[in-house]
Copies of this chain bind each other. A is one copy, B any other.
Amino acid sequence: MLQVEEKSIEMQRTAKQASKVLRVESMQKDIVRVEYAVRGEIAIRAEELRKQLSVSPNSLPFTRITNCNIGNPQQLAQRPITFFRQVAALVDYPDLLRSESNLFKPDARERAAKYLAAIGSAGAYSHSQGVPIVRREVADFIEKRDGFAADPENIFLTAGASPAVQLVLNSLISHPKVGIMIPIPQYPLYTASIALFNGTAVPYYLDEAKNWGLSKEELARSLAKARSEGVEVRALCIINPGNPTGQCLSLENMNEVVEFCKKENIVLLADEVYQTNIYKPAERPFHSFKKVVKSKGPEYDNFELISFHSVSKGMVGECGRRGGYFECTNIDPEVMAQFYKIASISLCPPVHGQLMVGLMTNPPKEGDPSYPEYRKEMDDIYQSLVRRSNTLAKALNKLEGVSCNEAEGAMYLFPTITLPRKAVEAAKALGKQPDDMYCMELLNETGVCVVPGSGFWQKEGTWHFRSTFLAPENQMGEFAESLARFHEKFMNKYR
């Protein structure tokens, strides 16, 4: 009886859905095709478990969800930079500027007053390309970083790097055979956006054995294969420092990439959002692709480069503000006018995100009243990231069948896991990738949420997961232990 009723309800539901205008079958098919793993099935399950814990705290074998699936530092108790937040609060509520409170140092007051004079109010729409004085701050930052001129007219402020990358990819993909070269493994923003705009992802593989290095031979192989399939390759995406892989490219390697793009007439898209998350600064300092291109002299004066940056990463970690920028180098002004037009349909990026871009690129300087506190906060976060990265890499490398490169940059480790044949078969029976199954079991048993390697794409027959190393330092020991306990149990189960 129950079965019959259920079936009848199911049939009703289907009939009701079938009569709808807006249903998955009739939706824009590129939208339906998109896959996005960082907030996919496992993240949704983590949210369910979090809700369950808030209602019945003792109903699960763990007491909290540890979100290592996403680079969201302030969710994991990283404190914001005081100077940045003081300026934000003063801009929100300018009456504070007139108060006697000694909470605010004079340079925070000055900066807030300067921003307010430029924007009128944080509640007003700004210029669609971004507040002009903030774009000036960004240009000054780039000039100082690279030693080459930067023009505020070539800088677009955005609601973080993700919509910026999407705008540029949408512009580039004019037919389904337009190819965009992407690293494998990659941040799924790229595969998701290329699917959404109905282009062709052209994968090139990073070499795990060489610390996720990039070889010009592999770039050439990837391009030749795509071209042989009739794909018109227009752009090459580089994530440096890498996500999920954490590698930091050498200057030599970067020069090879730039020469390759020039020779092959390909636009270079440089995702440099982790440019201050550099953990081996002596061996592997950060260089921007802008600097590399500009250093190559007049022969490269027509080299098309778009570089992305964000307030969400680094030691800033202000993800929720949605702030970022992209800089156009040698991009046709008429194309930039099109970028401006599309940006203007959504009016402007969030003003608070824009101001955070200004603060990040123009922080307190030596001698400023807020400098000592700013310096200490930045250094403390940085040192803690270094320690946590090392602790986690060590813990992972101790696990049976797990091998992990140390992070040169970014916020992630991306260990390989060699899984027993039985586990691979069990996953297959469930219609899942083996690393999907591993990560789901890890979540259900320990509350630790990581992202399976399949979401980033990976070399066939290899399995990985990505974990941030952002868990609070005082939880790292417990985190590593529960990971080890789970892993041993999992391996024994499927041995």
Contact = CB atoms under 8 A, between A and B. Distances in A.
Given A121-B80, A174-B29, A347 B319 contact: yes
26 contacts: A22-B304, A22-B335, A23-B334, A23-B335, A24-B334, A27-B172, A27-B338, A28-B173, A34-B341, A34-B342, A72-B124, A72-B125, A73-B124, A74-B123, A77-B120, A88-B92, A89-B90, A89-B93, A92-B92, A101-B101, A124-B319, A159-B350, A166-B346, A320-B350, A320-B351, A350-B350
Given A24-B338, A162-B347, A267-B21, A93 B101 contact: no
Nearest first, the 4 closest Cβ-Cβ pairs linking A and B are A320-B351, A89-B93, A39-B344, A74-B121
A74 B335 contact: no
A193 B171 CA distance: 15
A345 B162 contact: yes
A95 to B, nearest CB: 6
A204 to B, nearest CB: 18
A327 interface: no
A28 B346 contact: no
A91 to B, nearest CB: 8
Given A47-B127, A160-B347, A317-B123, A103 B99 contact: yes
B332 A172 contact: no
A26 interface: yes
Copies of this chain per assembly: 2
A125 B19 contact: no
Contacts of A31: 170-171, 338, 341-342
Interface in A182-230: 189, 192-193, 196-197
Contact of A22 (B20, B29, B331, B349): B331
Given A120-B74, A128-B39, A19 B302 contact: yes
Contacts of A235: 21
Nearest to A26: B174
Chain A interface size, as a band, is 35 or more
A234 interface: yes
A16 B174 CA distance: 21
Interface string A68-88: 001011110100100001101
B22 A124 contact: no
Contacts of A72: 124-125
Nearest to A192: B345
Given A21-B267, A320-B125, A346-B159, A93 B99 contact: no
Nearest to A131: B320
A27 B349 contact: no
Interface in A1-37: 16-17, 19-24, 26-29, 31-32, 34, 36
A173 B95 CA distance: 47
Nearest to A301: B16
A234 to B, nearest CB: 5
A292 interface: no
A418 to B, nearest CB: 31
A23 B267 CA distance: 11
A322 interface: yes
Contacts of A307: none
A275 interface: no
